[in-house]
Structures are given as C-alpha cells and as structure tokens.
A and B are shown apart, each in its own frame.
Chain A
Amino acid sequence: MKKILRTPETHPLTWWLNKHEDTVWIKEYIKKGGYLAFEKAVKTIHFKTIIDIIKNSGLKGRGGAGFSTGTKWSLMSQGKNSDIRYLLCNADEMEPGTYKDKFLMEKIPHQLIEGILISSLALQVSRSYIFLRYEYNKVEDILNKAIHEAKQYGYIGKNVLKSGFNFEIILHSGAGRYICGEETALINSLEGKRANPRFKPPFPASVGAWGKPTCVNNVETLSNVPFIILNGVEWYKNLSNSVDTGTKIMGFSGKVNNPGLWELPFGITAREILEDYAGGMSNGLQLKAWQPGGASTNFLTPEHIDLPMEFVSIQNAGSRLGTAIAMVVDNTINMVSLVRNIEEFFSRESCGLCTPCRDGLPWIVSILKSLEKKQGQIDDIDILEQLSYQLGPGKTFCAHAPGAIAPLKSAIKYFRSEFECCIKTSSTINVKFIDGIQ
C-alpha cells in the first residue's frame, strides 16, 4: 500500500491532520496558517472578486452533482429585496457508503468554518446554517466546540476583525431522513416542515429558506474554498491531472484489504485507488462490480476499473462519479440480493410526495424479494425494466427515484443471468393466481 506523505502542496484538505489524527482545534489550525485565507478575503478582496476566483478555479460541487460552485454563487439574487440571504452547509450525509464529510468535520472542523466564512463574505450572507444529520452526534459536539472557539477568537460575531462584517453560524441537527440531502427538501426541513422537495423554478438562489435567496453547498465544497483563496486559481488547477480541478476525497469500501478515504487528485484511476491505497481485494476475492460514488450510482464492472475518477469519464461509462467514495462488490455477492438491499433502503426513504416513487419503489422491492426466493414470474425482469423507465430522470418530482433505480438498471444490464436464474421454472410458470383461484 502506498505510504501517504501529506503536504500543503499536494493534500490541501487533509495535510492539517496531526500524527494521531485527532481533531485539529483552533490553536493548532492557526499555527499551521488557518484563517489566513479568511483574513486575506475580508481585508483585501471584494466580494464579487471572490466569486470570480471560485468560478475561475473550476471548483465543482462535491455533494455528487458536480455543478460549478462559482456559477451557483453568481446566480444568487441581488437587489433590495435580497438583503437577507442564507448559506446552508449540507452536512446531511446519508448516501449509503459515504462518510467523507463526517471525516472532514470530525478531524478539521475549522477548515469548514473558514470555508463558510469566506463563502458567506462572497455571498453577502450574515447567517449560515450547518444542516447536520441526526446520527452524527459526535460531530455535533465537535462542531459546537469549534464554532465556540471561532467566536472566542473573533472570527464569528459582530464586526469580525473590525471589518464591518457581522456573522453567525447556527448548527442545526436533523431528525433522520435521507431526502434531506436534496437541497430544497433540506430547506423545507430547516423551516420545520416535512422534507419534501420543492418545485424548481423558483430556484433557491432566488427563493430559498424563508423565501430569501439561499445557497446550499456541501461540506467538502466549502472546505476547498480557503486554500483556493490563499494559493490562487492556477495553483488549484495544477493540483489535478484532469479537466476537473483540485483534489477530491475518494475512497473504497467493501471487501478490500484497507478500506478508507484518501485525498487524491482528479484523474487518478479507480484501479490505482483500489490496488495502491485500498490494498486490493481481500482474501483472494475477485472484483465483480463496483459503484463509483455511493449506492445511487450505476454499477460498473472490472472492465471499467482503469477509468480515471473524474466526472466526464465516469459519466461516459454510464455511471456517475457521485461522492467518489466507491464500493466494491466481490464474486461471493449475489446481485439480486444486493440490489434488493439497496432498493429496500430507497423505498423506505422515499418521502412519498410523488406516486411513481412512493408506489414504484415498493413494487420493485416486492419483485426482487420474490426473485431472491427463486419464485420470480416470467415477466418480472421486463416489469423491472419498465419500472426503471417509469422512475427514471424526468418522470418523478426529484432525483431520489432516478438515483434509486440506477443500481437496478445497471445490475440487470451487466448481470442479467443472475436475475434470470431466479425465475420459477415449474409448469405453473404462466399461470396467474387471483385470490387463490387458478
């Protein structure tokens, strides 16, 4: 396995980690140059210039969608009615198999706070919320302490560093629902409502939390901001071997020898991560399939393992980079059962707002359960494919259902024979049972 030498030049997000990987508190953070980027931004850079810098840096959202952060910022409404505006940090990390934001918040909370501070300056926001998932109770304590420290050191409060900038961060803990990760559902939840997604347009940049312009950014995205401001656009672009700029927290889990997370440049291949960092498959197991970035991404096969981890390459191969925290499926795993597990999760977490998602996902689970028991009907695979189409992009209210059916569709595409061998082969195969009467 590769020995990792973390330097500020190669690992801007994680070089702060100390020897024992304990939380880096404010004294240590400042000693290593923390909050210098914020001081530079608040004292010397016009807020519009900060937006331009982030736009030019090519920073893309790290929550999964990969939209340009600077462009998102520049869409925030200006004008008289927009004097109150909000920045929401999306820390509702519930994608199965993903834990990068937890890692960043737990180990380097001040990097996120500094990122929020600079982003809030750029967006002219005076109050920001961190929307943290309920189960991250340890992270909640760490963030509360870090926010308190930042207040004590004068980075949060009134007239921050005598700049005239008034700012506060509120830590908001959720109550457990995967859909809160969707930006408009997150806003509804923050407002004390059911976390149902909202119609777009209007987009949150015009009408967001409490009807005010609102920007929702992921933890990792905001954590990138300080060192782009400190080191400049060209330096940031040169970190990467790809058209996607900067570094990314990537990882591999599943049955590998060394599951974990690493900060790596875009463009590194999945094979390099799997073999050099994750130590390869464990106990002689073979790689059967892998998901590049969370349970809502399409399965890829060993044929795709030499693909560079970047948005376009993974998309061209028929999947999504997502959170870039990949999962391997080994040769002992039955795809029908695995997909049933994934679909059960998405079915349970459907917010129920739109009928295709509310009724379609339990239907998929029901068919997969019968296939798992080798009691499938002859047309079950066709029905699964039809349902995949009916729950696909553009057919439902939000991205929950399209994300849910991605692993199903790709599993049928690559492992159809495993589904076919679950079809009942008895003579009753074409007989439909209605209330017990044949």
Chain B
Amino acid sequence: MLDDTFTLSNEEKRQILNKKDDYEDTRSISIEALKIVQKRRGWISKKAICEISKILRISESNLEEVATFYSQIFRKPVGRNVIRYCDSVVCYMYGCEDIKSILENELNIVIGETTKDLCFTLLPTCCLGNCDKAPTIMINDVTYSCLTPKSVVKLLELYK
C-alpha cells in the first residue's frame, strides 16, 4: 500500500538514532525503528520502509523481510483500537471462541479485518500469559481477563 506523503519527522529520526549505541550495528535497530514509526503513524507503509532503510543505511529488502515477518508490525492501516484476541489453549478451554464470535458479530468483521469506521482492528495473538484469568483479550496496551460474552460487549462500548 502506498503512502507518498510519508516523511520521517526529526523526532522519529532522533528516537531511532538514540538506539544506535545499544547494538553492534544499525541493522539491529530495524525492529525498534519500525515500532517507533508505527507508534506514531499506526502502520508501516512502503514509503516508511524506504525512509527508515535510508536512515539505518540498510537495504529496503532487509527491512521489508523483517516488517513482513513479525505479527506486531502492521503493513496496512489499522483501527484506532487494536484488539488482540488470545486463542491459546487455556483461553480455548474457557470459551474464547464464543468471545471471538461476539467480537466478530458486534464489530461486523472477522479476525484480521478493520471496521469501516477505522475504530477497531481484530487480530489473533499468542498466549497473553493470563491463563489463571482466562479468557483474555488485549485492547491496545491494556489486558482484560475473566471475560464473558456480556462483559465483552460492555468493554467495546468503552472504546467506541
């Protein structure tokens, strides 16, 4: 997806280059750089890859292969609220598939999609490490546990 208007801000450049001393080479900053840009822009466009590769002096293909590999790097625009739905084994035993159905019905999207109003994106995730309080979802940076179909509906209202 193209985003021709993208340019790295001075603040982003500063944040990225600040990480330089933490590693032996600049390629090692690539994941962190993608995360810095994504935090401000929501996703990583083709132009963003181009700009970041220039500042890190690594090839675009090196950065591209990383950006497409990791699940938390988004290559297309996502909603203002990213819901990470834990479908791991303990959450499964506690009925996470019902939670998924509720989320899909309420938002009228399926896993991997974004609502038309760009309010929500629904994604699967690895075990969120809250197995003693399953089922669990994560909305942006906040984890919600012991969910029921009713409480999920209420939860979505908070973010609408």
Count of interface residues, chain A, beta-carbon cutoff 8 Å: 53
Contact of A362 with B by CB under 8 A = no
Q: Known interface pairs A98-B127, A176-B125, A259-B132. Does A338 touch B93 (Cβ–Cβ under 8 Å)?
A: yes
9 A-B pairs in the complex with CB atoms less than 8 angstroms apart? A95-B127, A189-B31, A191-B23, A191-B27, A192-B58, A193-B66, A195-B70, A253-B132, A330-B93
Q: Which of B6-14, B81-89, B150-158 contacts A (4 or more CB under 8 A)?
A: B81-89
Q: Known interface pairs A177-B69, A192-B27, A192-B30. Does A327 touch B124 (Cβ–Cβ under 8 Å)?
A: no
Return the chain A residue nearest B130 by Cβ. A99
Q: CB-CB contacts of A179-198 with B at 8 A, as 1s and 0s? A: 00000000001111111000
B126 lies within 8 A of A349 (CB): yes
B28 lies within 8 A of A177 (CB): no
Whole-angstrom CA separation of A255 from B89 in the bound complex: 12
Measured between beta carbons, the chain A residues less than 8 angstroms from B70 are 174-177, 195
Q: CB-CB contacts of B93-136 with A at 8 A, as 1s and 0s? A: 11000000000000000000000000000001111111110100
Whole-angstrom CA separation of A24 from B96 in the bound complex: 33
Q: Known interface pairs A96-B89, A254-B93. Does A135 touch B132 (Cβ–Cβ under 8 Å)?
A: no
Residues 334-385 of A at the B interface (beta carbon under 8 Å): 338, 341-342, 344-345, 348-349, 351
Contact of A333 with B by CB under 8 A = yes
A97 lies within 8 A of B89 (CB): yes
A136 lies within 8 A of B129 (CB): yes
Measured between beta carbons, the chain A residues less than 8 angstroms from B65 are 193-194
Q: A99-B129, A325-B131 are in contact. List 5 more A-B contacts (CB 8 A).
A: A172-B22, A176-B73, A194-B66, A195-B69, A345-B87
> Of B30, B35, B127, B131, which contacts A259 at CB under 8 A?
B131
> Of B25, B27, B62, B71, which contacts A177 at CB under 8 A?
B71
Contact of B4 with A by CB under 8 A = no
Measured between beta carbons, the chain B residues less than 8 angstroms from A310 are none
Q: CB-CB contacts of A232-265 with B at 8 A, as 1s and 0s? A: 0000000000000000000101110001110000
B131 lies within 8 A of A210 (CB): no
Measured between beta carbons, the chain A residues less than 8 angstroms from B126 are 94, 96, 133, 135, 176, 178, 345, 349
A341 lies within 8 A of B131 (CB): no
What 5 pairs between A and B have smallest CB-CB spacing?
A175-B70, A99-B129, A96-B88, A176-B72, A176-B71
Residues 25-78 of B at the A interface (beta carbon under 8 Å): 25, 27-32, 34-35, 58, 62, 65-66, 69-73
Contact of A137 with B by CB under 8 A = yes
> Of B31, B62, B87, B125, which contacts A135 at CB under 8 A?
B125
Measured between beta carbons, the chain B residues less than 8 angstroms from A341 are 87-89, 92
Residues 93-151 of A at the B interface (beta carbon under 8 Å): 93-99, 102, 133-138
Q: Known interface pairs A175-B31, A327-B89, A338-B93. Does A135 touch B134 (Cβ–Cβ under 8 Å)?
A: no
B71 lies within 8 A of A174 (CB): no
Counting chain B CB atoms within 10 Å of each CB, the highest count among A259, A342, A349 belongs to A259
Q: Known interface pairs A102-B129, A175-B34, A349-B126. Does A97 touch B88 (Cβ–Cβ under 8 Å)?
A: yes
Whole-angstrom CA separation of A344 from B131 in the bound complex: 18
A253 lies within 8 A of B71 (CB): no
Contact of B139 with A by CB under 8 A = no
Q: Main SS of the interface on chain B?
A: mixed
Whole-angstrom CA separation of A189 from B125 in the bound complex: 18
A300 → chain B closest CB, angstroms: 15
Q: Known interface pairs A192-B31, A193-B27. Does A135 touch B84 (Cβ–Cβ under 8 Å)?
A: yes
> Of A95, A173, A195, which contacts B35 at CB under 8 A?
A173
Whole-angstrom CA separation of A253 from B136 in the bound complex: 14
A302 → chain B closest CB, angstroms: 17
Measured between beta carbons, the chain B residues less than 8 angstroms from A330 are 93
Counting chain A CB atoms within 10 Å of each CB, the highest count among B34, B65, B71 belongs to B71
Whole-angstrom CA separation of A102 from B89 in the bound complex: 18
Whole-angstrom CA separation of A192 from B53 in the bound complex: 12
Whole-angstrom CA separation of A189 from B31 in the bound complex: 8
Return the chain A residue nearest B30 by Cβ. A192
B71 lies within 8 A of A295 (CB): no
B36 → chain A closest CB, angstroms: 11
B29 lies within 8 A of A192 (CB): yes
Measured between beta carbons, the chain A residues less than 8 angstroms from B58 are 192
Counting chain A CB atoms within 10 Å of each CB, the highest count among B127, B134, B138 belongs to B127
B133 → chain A closest CB, angstroms: 8
Contact of B90 with A by CB under 8 A = yes
Contact of B3 with A by CB under 8 A = no
Measured between beta carbons, the chain B residues less than 8 angstroms from A327 are 89-90, 93, 131
Residues 288-313 of A at the B interface (beta carbon under 8 Å): 291, 295
Whole-angstrom CA separation of A189 from B73 in the bound complex: 14
A339 → chain B closest CB, angstroms: 10
> Of B87, B92, B124, B128, which contacts A338 at CB under 8 A?
B92
> Of B35, B84, B87, B90, which contacts A254 at CB under 8 A?
B90
